[in-house]
Structure 1
Amino acid sequence: MVGLGMIPVLTQKLSAPISLAVNAILLQLVLHKSPKEIGVYKYLLCYIAVFEEFFSHSSVFLVIARSDRMNLPIWLICIGDGLFCGMFGMSMAMFALQLVYRYLVVTGNVYVKTFNCQKLIIWLLVPLLYGTLWITVVFTTLHPNEYSDKILNEHYLPGKDLIIEEITYVGPNYYIRENDEESLNWNTIIGMTILDSM
């Protein structure tokens, strides 16, 4: 029987070829079956498909901020960490809105021809709402915890002349270890599922 610790390894080894195959098919479809109206945007879509391949590395990814490099209280650095994540979410929303708007322009959609100030305000508010939701999810599901603290104490802090109280962080840690038993961190999985579905 396969141990719980082997699940991430097997998942990555099985998922990587499937992901590469699906992305290869996607690239072919985008390059050869896209409507002509989409123009050079098909190359942008290909760029995104290739770029996304580089996001799968390890089971932990943390945004770490050190208080020894900033003359700010740790609570303020923690807020900055969350705002950084929220701005990332906002940039994703702005990127999506730009693509939608450009596609509407290229296809000559009536919606763009009747674009007015009220529509612009809605388009500008969407990234703010998206970023706020992103921050809320990050702070409620990807916040510092004892399991991530342990990983940082074992793998990040040694040799950096830091202690855990001098840093703050947010980010997913998919597996938690208690009593030498690894189990899934459902709080992180729920948070990342929400962020991924946004």
Structure 2
Amino acid sequence: MNWNSFVDFIQKIAAGTSIFMNCILTILILFKSPKQLGSYKYLMIYIVWFEILYSILDVIITPIMFSHESIVMVIVFKKYSPIPHQVLLILIAAYGACFGISMGIFGLHFIYRYFVSTGSNYMSTFKKGRIFYWMLIPIIYGLIWGSVCFFLLGPSEEINHIVANKLMLTFGWEIHDISYLGPYFYQIQPDGSYKIGWNSVVGVVIAWTILFSSLVAIIYCGIKCYLYINSMINITNSSVSKNLRNLQAQLFYALVTQTAIPVILMHIPLSIVILFSFLDKDLGTLSGITSITISLFPALDPLPTMFIIKNYRTTIFGKII
């Protein structure tokens, strides 16, 4: 089995596992959620179905990441695909948009948990139909990230010329056999000067600004939630019931773990690949490991919620026993 076939195999296994696990989690959320969960279960369903759709997209295009010099490419082998080239480019951009959506979703979850934990008046904005306005934030993040991929990080004749031989040696692919998107930072000229790919630089700056804004919300709200929940748990005479305090702690720790998974599997590997390319260091097929870790994210992400939330955990183990 060659490298791209191995990556494709892992992606299909991960996608099948993700769809199965997230369907199980959907049933648990709908039928076994504590009554105190309130509107939060809509946010939980939101992320579950995002991960299912992401897995389906991953199977459809089976992308593989590849870096060469200062170029990072998300490649789809199109030779035997019935999907037209332009549509494949849109699907690759949608795949990139999933990064923006994921960070928007987790930032939104932390904001919600912060409002709930502190009893903020802003909780009213999450009730009834108004919660769907909040749900637009990750979609906007995704649209910006996807637009950056499609309009600023598209294919070019320069990239084709630089990577054509490398693709043939590595995969046995002709340049016209693939569709791809990705940044091209700079090319060293014969006189030692650099030709900067400004579209790529601007695109990556926009994308990582979005990422940074989400991380700020996660870190700020996460620290506030942790301090508040700890103080609430330690107050035995609190007017808040013990069950509710325990539930808040379970939801918070599940959310922290659930957020760590995409950070470890998606954002850190991608950041490493981009950093090496920016330094003009060739990772070649090693960058394909990122394709594997990214595909594992939606398969593993349901597990913290399923096993940390007591109602879900007892239901699962009760069924097994």
TM-score by length of 2: 0.40
1:128 corresponds in structure 2 to 139
What is the CA-CA distance between 1:149 and the residue it aligns to?
1.6
After TM superposition, the structure 1 = structure 2 runs for residues 12-23 of structure 1, keeping only pairs within 5 Å, are none
1:186 corresponds in structure 2 to 198
What is the root-mean-square deviation in Å for CA atoms of aligned residues?
A: 2.3
After TM superposition, the structure 1 = structure 2 runs for residues 87-166 of structure 1, keeping only pairs within 5 Å, are 87-112=98-123, 115-166=126-177
* Pair 1:71-2:82 in alignment: yes
Identity of aligned residues (%): 31
Distance 1:178 1:94 in 2: 42
- Where structure 1 has 5 or more consecutive residues not aligned to the other structure, the ranges are 1-56
Distance 1:117 1:151 in 2: 54
1:195 corresponds in structure 2 to 207
3-state DSSP of counterpart to 1:79: helix
What is the CA-CA distance between 1:179 and the residue it aligns to?
5.2
What is the CA-CA distance between 1:139 and the residue it aligns to?
1.5
CA contact 2:125–2:131 (8 Å) conserved in 1: no
3-state DSSP of counterpart to 1:156: helix
3-state DSSP of counterpart to 1:183: strand
TM-score by length of 1: 0.63
What is the CA-CA distance between 1:101 and the residue it aligns to?
1.4
CA contact 2:126–2:134 (8 Å) conserved in 1: no
Q: Cα distance 1:114–1:95, how it changes in 2: closer, same or farther (>3 A)?
A: closer
Distance 2:69 2:117 in 1: 40
Distance 2:207 2:87 in 1: 24
What is the CA-CA distance between 1:152 and the residue it aligns to?
2.1
- Where structure 2 has 5 or more consecutive residues not aligned to the other structure, the ranges are 1-67, 211-321
What is the CA-CA distance between 1:161 and the residue it aligns to?
2.6
